[in-house]
Amino acid sequence: GENVEQHPSTLSVQEGDSAVIKCTYSDSASNYFPWYKQELGKRPQLIIDIRSNVGEKKDQRIAVTLNKTAKHFSLHITETQPEDSAVYFCAASMGTGGFKTIFGAGTRLFVKA
């Protein structure tokens, strides 16, 4: 069945360093790849997304890259700040309208001041 794998499960970086989280997906029909951030005790919220006809997208300190051939996509956070500490989830959407969404297991990011 559809599967999204996410690595690493935990990531600790020094403030100001970059953080990279990687995901792979199994269903070649996937066409939409969102990233969600979840702070402790809160609901997940979308931070950036990318569609299958785009290779890279950037929004200030965060960027996503997509390699459709390899079925890989990655989240890059530059100049990390303590408030970036949270759990990050990648996801892949498949099906009509790109709605049915399968999530990765999450990466807990710690940014040390």
Which lies closer to other proteins via its Cβ, residue 91 or residue 111? 91
Site string for other proteins, 2-41 (x = CB under 8 A): x---x--x----------------------x-x-------
Q: Cβ–Cβ contacts within 10 Å for residue 28, how many?
A: 11
Residue 44: CB minimum distance to other proteins, A: 5
Contact flag: residue 49 with other proteins (CB under 8 A):
yes
Beta strand extents in the chain (DSSP E only): 4-7, 10-14, 19-25, 32-38, 45-51, 56-59, 62-67, 72-77, 86-94, 100-103, 107-112
Residues in 73-92 at the binding interface with other proteins, rule: CB under 8 A: 89, 91
